[in-house]
Amino acid sequence: MRSLLYAVAILLVGSATKADDKPAVKEIDTKDFKIMAPRDGKATAPTEIKTADELAKNAILKDVTEAIQKHVNFKKEKLVLFAWWGSGQDRITPDDKNLGTFIYTLGFTRDYRMHVKLFVVPKDTAVKVLTAR
């Protein structure tokens, strides 16, 4: 009887943690895409793309729309586009603890490079960017 209670307890705990799991943020690799970031783009001001129509109309991603659509289900997800120019060491990373939060880390090199990062997040997720120094 005690074994049965332990088994039930383990199943309940296991199913509770699976239900609490947050969906992961997925990054789409953009290195093979021919994308040009605008000179006035800001790493702290991403563009949220919620539909296939918005994706097709986006000036930065218009030439790679078909390739990107393979990675996102617009019924459940949206795209978060970061496009800016800055130090070659600049980084944007998703925060592991807070879904929809991204961390912008400033680089300190004087080289000036284009950066384009594209992430897939759940559609109802609020997006915010924090700056780390």
4 assigned to some structural domain: no
Q: What is the pLDDT of residue 133?
A: 73
Tens-place pLDDT, residues 85-122: 999 999 999 998 999 999 999 999 999 999 999 999 99
8 assigned to some structural domain: no
Q: What is the pLDDT of residue 10?
A: 46
1 assigned to some structural domain: no
Q: Taking a C-beta distance cutoff of 8 angstroms, is the pair 55, 79 a contact?
A: yes
Q: What is the pLDDT of residue 13?
A: 45
- The residue whose two tokens read 């950066």 is 115
44 assigned to some structural domain: yes
Q: What is the pLDDT of residue 5?
A: 41
Across the chain, which has 133 residues, the per-10-residue mean pLDDT values are 45 43 83 89 96 95 93 96 96 94 95 95 96 86
18 assigned to some structural domain: no
127 assigned to some structural domain: yes
Instruction: Work out how many domains the chain is built from and give that number.
Output: 1
Task: List the domain range (segments joined by +) for residue 75.
Answer: 23-132
Per DSSP, the residues of 7-29 read HHHHHHHHHHHHHHPPPPPEEEP
96 assigned to some structural domain: yes
